[in-house]
């Protein structure tokens, strides 16, 4: 009898344990069926935000280009399509060079023009620089970034790489999502005749037209942009004909854009509507080829661009989380979600206070921020029973040389509450075109390319999105990145606007190596959510064994506790977005921990990624199962 009761009790305990494990891992098991298949390639892979953009990459591979050539072609095509960016925006890239075995960063983020000071914007009653228009523009970065990448690492000519974009500028069938976006923004676009001409072709048509913007599938013509791109190609051809090398010819086109007649028209067109840009601003601006920052997570070397973007946030969070048994917590269990949320909040609080342009003083404490010892200190600050709505930046100077010059500001620092939304110092109410949720997810596109030689490229370009201000007769829509600066050093002493300075941006391509070889290349759309989503994508692969397509389709969580980088820069402590298939009991547990739970069907921007299968010598590509992100492979 005692023996029988022991066995029954043993069976019951085992059954409960198995059920508990199944329930905890249920979201992972359910995720094994994906809406899209994995995309396999042996020779090359091209993935980006639009099918036509991916086709441009495929065309370049067919011409014999490498992954850098293809990535540049996709960048040109998506910029021409205004895929949440335009030609006057900014480009951020990571490039793996198989001949050196090194990852390099491309910094093609524009700078604040002459006259763009905190005092200037405050004199206009603004709490932050504006969201749209000429005053929102930093100097164009994407043309320079594309030409530098191509010159230094590509194989083909500028004419070959820009051919798809030039053909599209001559006229391409606009997709429904972008056509509707133009119609939705028409009140803003209509302020600027040069923008109206491109985006609102039916604005002054007869009453038979139901809308000002193009219809889905209508051919969108951009004659001025086509001429500008053809000028670049013509300059390259002239340089080659005079005996210049391939690289020198591409840089001759670069000079025409930033120092020649194109630059003159950019400046004239911008200043005509109140912009601050000068010829000197364009002449002095440059693209930086730089070393990215990195951390090792359980044998995987993860690379991000440094603190002129938010990329190090993901590395800081990984440094905190590597001290925990994440897999043992269970995928998207309440404890796992709490761990992610708290680690991200600690890292983003540091971003909000310490990140800024590394090429202008003061010098940011990036060594201390990425210290493993600092991460352990930050881990010790997590309250495992509830959310901390008052998470503050730490003091990384204790983990590197030097003394924190802003301790007094740090002591007074606080996230911006929703009540401060858009209210200027003098009671001036800024007109915000994006609500706080739209601002939080403010988009871009992403580009992934890889080839059999070993080149790998990850790009997160952005800026110049609709409603873009098009400068003069150039066809170039200018960036809106100025809004990511702050005007008060108490918010972030490293990111106060000043002429010649880069704003701290959200744009953040990612790459990972394992045993010194490419392992993952990944990026995502979505403003302040980017490194949150990419952190979870990475953990999906490394901790939970998902393939690349499963990982991009999986449920994400989002914290809104950090300061938004857009609009009114609001902070919403405790606000937690979950995908609607997260179980009720998990939501209930989190609600009891002080979280304000929201659920949606979609909880991230579209993620694009490539996984490198060393065992079989192939590449696996993935793109999220919503939006229009698309890939081709061979």
| 385 CB burial (10 A radius; 0-12, 13-18, 19+) | exposed
Specify if 591 maps to a domain. yes
Summarize the confidence of residues 290-311 as an average pLDDT: 98
Specify if 368 maps to a domain. yes
| Pair 102, 139 in one domain | yes
Predicted local confidence at residue 22, as pLDDT: 40
| Tens-digit pLDDT profile for residues 311-326 | 999 999 999 999 999 9
> Is the predicted pLDDT of residue 572 greater than 90, yes or no?
yes
> Is the predicted pLDDT of residue 15 greater than 50, yes or no?
no
pTM as predicted = 0.92
| Pair 158, 192 in one domain | yes
Summarize the confidence of residues 194-223 as an average pLDDT: 91
With beta carbons less than 8 A apart as the criterion, state whether 508 and 534 touch.
yes
Radius of gyration of the chain (CA): 25
Q: How confident is the model at residue 455 (pLDDT cuts 50, 70, 90)?
A: very high
With beta carbons less than 8 A apart as the criterion, state whether 538 and 552 touch.
no
| Tens-digit pLDDT profile for residues 390-400 | 999 999 999 99
Question: How many angstroms separate the CA atoms of 199 and 204, rounded?
Answer: 12
Summarize the confidence of residues 496-523 as an average pLDDT: 97
The last residue of one of the domains, among 268, 288, 308, is 288
Q: For the chain, what percent of residues have pLDDT higher than 90?
A: 83
Summarize the confidence of residues 105-126 as an average pLDDT: 97
| Pair 353, 420 in one domain | yes
Specify if 14 maps to a domain. no
Q: What is the mean pLDDT of the chain?
A: 91
Specify if 49 maps to a domain. yes
Q: Considering its fold, how many domains does the chain have in total?
A: 2
| Pair 268, 294 in one domain | no
Alpha helices in 393-513 (DSSP H): 407-412, 436-440
Predicted local confidence at residue 204, as pLDDT: 81
Long-range Cβ pairs for the range 293-299 (8 Å, 24+): 293/366, 293/370, 294/103, 295/319, 295/370, 295/372, 297/322, 297/538, 297/542, 298/322, 298/542, 299/514
Summarize the confidence of residues 2-30 as an average pLDDT: 41
Predicted local confidence at residue 90, as pLDDT: 97
> Is the predicted pLDDT of residue 423 greater than 70, yes or no?
no
| Pair 234, 348 in one domain | no
Percent of the chain that is helix, strand, coil (3-state, to 5):
40, 15, 45
CATH number for the domain harbouring residue 335: 3.60.20.40
Q: How confident is the model at residue 214 (pLDDT cuts 50, 70, 90)?
A: very high
Sign of CA dihedral 553, 556, 562, 564: positive
Predicted local confidence at residue 443, as pLDDT: 56
| Pair 220, 349 in one domain | no
Roughly what angle, to the nearest 10 degrees, separates helices 334-354 and 372-379? Answer: 120
Summarize the confidence of residues 596-611 as an average pLDDT: 92
Q: How confident is the model at residue 435 (pLDDT cuts 50, 70, 90)?
A: low
| Pair 348, 235 in one domain | no
> Is the predicted pLDDT of residue 506 greater than 70, yes or no?
yes
Is the previous residue joined to 544 through a cis bond, with omega within 30 degrees of 0?
A: no
Specify if 460 maps to a domain. no
Specify if 310 maps to a domain. no
Of 10-14, 89-93, 569-573, 579-583, the range with the lowest mean pLDDT is: 10-14
Predicted local confidence at residue 416, as pLDDT: 77
C-alpha neighbours within 13 Å on the C-beta side of residue 144: 28
Specify if 615 maps to a domain. yes
Is the previous residue joined to 561 through a cis bond, with omega within 30 degrees of 0?
A: no
Summarize the confidence of residues 20-32 as an average pLDDT: 44
Give the residue with greater pLDDT, 443 vs 421. 443
| Pair 262, 294 in one domain | no
SS (H, E, C) 152-181: HHCCCCHHHHHHHHHHHHCCEECCHHHHHH
> Is the predicted pLDDT of residue 177 greater than 90, yes or no?
no
| Pair 376, 252 in one domain | no
| Pair 294, 387 in one domain | yes
With beta carbons less than 8 A apart as the criterion, state whether 286 and 320 touch.
no
Specify if 127 maps to a domain. yes
With beta carbons less than 8 A apart as the criterion, state whether 137 and 109 touch.
no
Predicted local confidence at residue 606, as pLDDT: 87
With beta carbons less than 8 A apart as the criterion, state whether 343 and 351 touch.
no
Domain housing 533: 290-298+316-440+505-633
Give φ, ψ of 27 to 5 degrees: -60, -35
Alpha helices in 81-201 (DSSP H): 118-123, 142-153, 158-169, 176-184, 186-189, 193-199
| Pair 336, 419 in one domain | yes
Of 20-24, 204-208, 520-524, the range with the lowest mean pLDDT is: 20-24
Residue 132 CB partners (closer than 8 Å, separation 6+): 188, 433, 467, 469, 480
| Tens-digit pLDDT profile for residues 143-155 | 999 999 999 999 9
Predicted local confidence at residue 27, as pLDDT: 45
> Is the predicted pLDDT of residue 29 greater than 90, yes or no?
no
| Pair 325, 256 in one domain | no
């Amino acid at each position: 009898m005692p023996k029988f009761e022991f066995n029954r009790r043993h069976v019951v305990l085992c059954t409960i344990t198995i059920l508990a494990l199944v329930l905890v891992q249920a979201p992972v098991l359910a995720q094994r069926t994906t809406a899209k298949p994995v995309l396999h390639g042996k020779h090359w892979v091209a993935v980006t935000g639009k099918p036509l953009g991916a086709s441009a990459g495929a065309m370049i591979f067919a011409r014999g280009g490498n992954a850098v050539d293809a990535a540049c072609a996709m960048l040109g095509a998506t910029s021409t399509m205004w895929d949440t960016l335009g030609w006057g925006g900014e480009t951020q890239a990571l490039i793996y060079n198989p001949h050196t075995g090194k990852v390099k960063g491309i910094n093609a983020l524009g700078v604040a023009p002459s006259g763009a000071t905190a005092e200037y914007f405050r004199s206009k009653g603004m709490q932050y620089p504006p969201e749209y228009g000429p005053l929102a523009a930093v100097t164009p970065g994407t043309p320079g970034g594309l030409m530098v990448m191509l010159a230094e690492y590509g194989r083909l000519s500028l004419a070959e790489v820009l051919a798809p974009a030039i053909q599209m500028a001559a006229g391409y069938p606009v997709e429904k999502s972008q056509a509707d976006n133009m119609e939705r923004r028409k009140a803003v676009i209509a302020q600027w005749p040069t923008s109206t001409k491109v985006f609102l072709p039916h604005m002054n048509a007869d009453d038979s037209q139901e809308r000002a913007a193009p219809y889905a599938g209508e051919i969108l013509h951009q004659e001025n942009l086509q001429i500008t791109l053809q000028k670049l190609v013509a300059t390259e051809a002239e340089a080659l004909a005079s005996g210049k090398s391939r690289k020198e010819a591409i840089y001759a086109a670069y000079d025409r854009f930033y120092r020649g007649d194109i630059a003159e028209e950019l400046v004239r067109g911008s200043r005509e509507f109140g912009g601050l840009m000068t010829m000197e601003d364009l002449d002095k601006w440059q693209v930086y080829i730089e070393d990215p920052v990195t951390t090792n997570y359980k044998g995987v070397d993860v690379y991000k661009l440094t603190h002129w973007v938010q990329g190090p946030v993901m590395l800081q969070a990984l440094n905190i989380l590597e001290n925990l048994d994440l897999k043992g917590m269970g995928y998207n269990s309440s404890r796992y979600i709490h761990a992610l949320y708290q680690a991200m909040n600690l890292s983003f609080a540091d971003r909000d206070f310490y990140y800024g342009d590394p090429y202008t003083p003061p010098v940011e404490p990036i060594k201390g921020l990425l210290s493993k010892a600092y991460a352990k200190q930050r881990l010790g600050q997590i309250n495992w029973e509830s959310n901390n709505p008052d998470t503050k930046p730490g003091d990384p100077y204790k983990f590197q040389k030097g003394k924190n010059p802003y301790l007094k500001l740090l002591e007074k620092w606080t996230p911006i509450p929703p009540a401060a939304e858009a209210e200027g110092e003098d009671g001036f109410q800024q007109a915000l075109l994006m609500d706080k949720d739209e601002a939080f997810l403010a988009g871009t596109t992403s580009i992934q390319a890889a080839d059999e030689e070993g080149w790998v490229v990850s790009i997160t370009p952005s800026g110049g999105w609709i409603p873009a201000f098009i400068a003069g007769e150039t066809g170039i829509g200018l960036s809106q990145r100025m809004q990511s600066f702050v005007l008060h050093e108490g918010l972030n002493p490293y990111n106060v606007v000043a002429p010649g300075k880069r704003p701290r941006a959200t744009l953040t391509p990612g790459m990972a190596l394992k045993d010194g070889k490419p392992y993952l290349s990944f990026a995502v759309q979505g403003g302040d959510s980017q490194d949150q989503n990419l952190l979870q994508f990475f953990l999906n692969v490394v901790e939970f064994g998902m393939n690349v397509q499963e990982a991009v389709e999986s449920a994400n969580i989002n914290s809104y506790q950090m300061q938004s980088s857009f609009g009114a820069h609001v902070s919403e402590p405790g606000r937690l977005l979950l995908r609607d298939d997260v179980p009720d009991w998990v939501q209930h547990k989190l609600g009891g921990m002080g979280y304000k739970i929201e659920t949606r069907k979609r909880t991230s921007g579209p993620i694009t990624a490539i996984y490198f299968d060393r065992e079989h010598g192939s590449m696996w590509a993935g793109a999220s199962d919503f939006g229009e992100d698309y890939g081709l492979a061979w």
